[in-house]
């Protein structure tokens, strides 16, 4: 029988939607914390195929979710392009910055990324070989705009101001950076598919800070180009797009980009999304991640409400953003039990 996730992505309405969770392999799981301690630090964990395979599989063993997602980080692509990358404990990632045409010129060409990323492809091969036959495998990358915001600022920022400033001051250099990231992303995701990923997802976590023509040029157009290239290289490959906090710009995004599924954050209601977005195909989401912390009857009620709202079309149950480190694994089990019960 075809995997449930792949059936939903192909447009099938299922009596019980498949379920997986963004950041399902992470710090809320004691087994993840133990493996991370064994690795030494986050980047060593990403680049160790045996340990990255282990953490990818942990939530599948524990919860029986319908899909695994590769354990990696969106900033491995900038690192493979030649940016310096490190993680500050308790503060998150830091990167050397790209703020001029000269900085951009020092980056490697897109096709030079594979030596750095070879351990990631090995992780994909190992996970694909180890997954239960009913479990789908999702590869992923950051979308160009979101990756660019980190490359320009050197870190995460609340409003992506440094990227907006470069976009305004030197649009040509900014556009060339977006293009370099898009080229590398196609190659990176294509290698994941060759290694065994059955679905890929593009995370555009900061898409909501783009507006008007900027949204079209730097969120929609790169996504459309990446998806078109991937489908040319891998006919029939399903792609999930996540232009987080796109708001009304969610409408028509799947149609315009060729995405097979649109992942939704919590800023749109399931009822509105069913009426305006699910008509174009599969949608994914969009339980508030806070429910994984608070649990209880309210979690059960929210799971049922979202499931029922999307019951008239293809739907993949997920959160509206990543699961947080303070989530209770028991609440994930309750979510799955409620959904399937």
Which are the catalytic amino acids? Answer: 23, 27, 36, 73, 150
For 288, left (φ over 0), alpha (ψ -120 to 50), or beta?
beta
* DSSP string across 121-187: HHHHHHHHHHS-TT-EEEEEEE-HHHHHHHHHHSS--SS-HHHHHHHHH-HHHHHHHHHHHHHHHHH
Assess contact for 47 and 72: CB atoms under 8 A: no
* DSSP string across 51-109: HHHHHHHHHHHHH--SEEE----TTHHHHHTT--EEEETTTEEEE----SHHHHHTSPP
Phi, psi of 118 (to 5 degrees): -55, -40
Residue 86 CB neighbour total at 10 angstroms: 12
Residue 134 CB neighbour total at 10 angstroms: 13
CA distance 145 to 332: 31
Q: Which residues contact 337 (CB under 8 A, 6 or more apart)?
A: none
CA distance 30 to 10: 35
CA distance 270 to 285: 8
DSSP code at position 322? P
Residue 296 CB neighbour total at 10 angstroms: 10
Assess contact for 181 and 150: CB atoms under 8 A: no
* Residue whose C-alpha is closest to residue 11's, from 339, 319, 315, 318: 315
Phi, psi of 242 (to 5 degrees): -135, 80
């Amino acid at each position: 029988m075809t995997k449930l996730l792949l059936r939903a992505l192909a447009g099938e309405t299922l009596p019980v939607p498949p379920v997986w969770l963004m950041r399902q392999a992470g710090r809320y799981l004691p087994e993840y914390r133990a493996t991370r301690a064994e690795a030494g630090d986050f980047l060593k964990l990403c680049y160790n195929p045996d340990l990255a395979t282990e953490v990818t599989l942990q939530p599948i063993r524990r919860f029986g979710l319908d899909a695994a997602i590769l354990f990696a980080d969106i900033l491995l692509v900038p690192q493979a392009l030649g940016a310096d990358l490190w993680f500050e404990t308790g503060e998150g990632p830091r990167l050397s910055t790209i703020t001029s045409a000269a900085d951009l010129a020092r980056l490697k060409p897109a096709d030079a990324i594979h030596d750095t990323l070879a351990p990631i492809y090995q992780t994909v091969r190992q996970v694909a070989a180890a997954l239960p036959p009913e479990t789908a495998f999702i590869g992923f990358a950051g979308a160009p705009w979101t990756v660019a915001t980190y490359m320009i600022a050197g870190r995460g920022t609340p409003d992506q101001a440094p990227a907006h400033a470069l976009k305004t001051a030197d649009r040509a250099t900014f556009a060339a950076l977006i293009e370099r990231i898009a080229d590398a992303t196609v190659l990176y995701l294509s290698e994941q598919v060759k290694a065994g990923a059955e679905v890929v997802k593009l995370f555009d976590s900061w898409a909501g800070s783009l507006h008007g023509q900027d949204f079209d040029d730097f969120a929609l157009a790169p996504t459309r180009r990446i998806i078109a290239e991937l489908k040319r290289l891998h006919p029939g490959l399903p792609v999930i797009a996540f232009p987080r906090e796109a708001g009304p710009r969610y409408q028509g995004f799947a149609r315009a980009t060729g995405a097979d599924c649109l992942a939704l954050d919590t800023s749109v209601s399931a009822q509105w999304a069913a009426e305006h977005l699910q008509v174009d195909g599969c949608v994914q989401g969009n339980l508030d991640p806070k429910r994984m912390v608070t649990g209880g009857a309210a979690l059960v009620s929210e799971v049922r409400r979202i499931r029922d709202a999307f019951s008239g079309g293809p739907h993949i149950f997920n959160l509206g953003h990543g699961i947080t480190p303070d989530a209770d694994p028991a609440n994930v089990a309750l979510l799955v039990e409620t959904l399937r019960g």
